[in-house]
Amino acid sequence: MSDTIFQLSAKTNDGNESALANYEGKVLLVVNTASKCGFTPQYKGLEELYQKYKEKGLVVLGFPCDQFAHQEPAGDPEIAQFCQRNFGVSFPLMAKIEVNGPGTHPVYEFMKERAPKLLGSRIKWNFTKFLVERDGRTVRRFSPSTEPVKLENDIEAALAKVPARSR
């Protein structure tokens, strides 16, 4: 298991490998997304958070996933088009992944290990949110029904913390 999320990498929506070290010192909001889910309108709120806080160090990372009721059937290019056209998404979208089971992406293995739920670490549904602090170790988990705007206080608190290397 990695010590920090910044030791991991993930493919971007256009198929390029991206080292999460590129986000070192940032606060990450990592969300498993889907285009045909009842929570899909949360893309709008996620984009609003990104726009409001990106200059202060917030990065929203969307990880499309099709493991819940086949609610993300599209391919990566179509997902990006849908998100941009319908919600103006400009935050980074990653390639479609699995968040549960034997094919779980290492980023989700890391987050589930760091922020398990009371009855286990499985992701219950689309739009489960993880807030990763600047240290890359501290992770908080939020349910799919938690609207992005409800995360503002937690995001502001995480952004206010000085990164360890700057102390």
Q: Is 83 a catalytic residue?
A: no
Catalytic-role residue among 5, 27, 37, 151: 37
**Of 161, 45, 64, the residue nearest 107 (C-alpha):** 64
The terminus-to-terminus CA distance of the chain in angstroms comes to 26
Tokens of 23: 């986000």
- Please, where are the H alpha helices in 4-146? 42-53, 76-87, 106-114
Burial class (CB in 10 A: 0-12, 13-18, 19+), 44: middle
Question: C-alpha distances in angstroms, 140 versus 7, 94, 166?
Answer: 18, 20, 22
User: Among all residues, which ones are annotated catalytic?
Assistant: 37
